[in-house]
Amino acid sequence: MSDFELGISPREMTQIFICTMLWLKQYGWITIGENNFATQFNGVQLTEKALCALNWMPETVKERGKPLGQRLQDALAERAPASVAGALVGEAVKAMVLAAM
C-alpha cells in the first residue's frame, strides 16, 4: 500500500516523522546529534532506557555473561574491604577494554 493509497501526503508523512522523532527525544528514548535542521536528524542513538525496553544487551556484556553492575557486586563480595577500590577499577577497566573491541 503506498502513501497515496493511505490518503497521506508526503508532507504529512514528513510531519508525522518529525513529531515522532521529537517525541522520542522529549521522553528520553533517543538522543539526537548537534547541528540538525528542522527536518534532518543526524547522530540519532537509542538511550539506555530504550535499549532496556527492547531487552537488548551489548555483545560485549553477553560475552561476559553478566552485566557490569552484577560483575562489580560479585567482585566486591569476593574481596576484603581494603581491596574494594582496586576491584572496582579493575572491573571497570575490563569493561571499557571489551567495549572498545
Query: Does residue 59 or residue 64 have the better pLDDT?
Result: 59
| Residue 28 CB partners (closer than 8 Å, separation 6+) | 47, 49
- DSSP secondary structure code for residue 1 in this structure: -
- DSSP one-letter string for 4-38: TTTT--HHHHHHHHHHHHHHHHHTTSEE--SS--T
The ranges assigned to domains in the chain are 1-56, 58-101
**What digits encode the pLDDT tens for the residues 64-85?**
667 767 777 777 777 655 566 6
| % of residues, the chain, pLDDT over 90 | 8
Q: How far apart are CA 1 and CA 22, in angstroms?
A: 26
| Residue 86 CB partners (closer than 8 Å, separation 6+) | 79
pLDDT at residue 27, rounded to an integer: 93
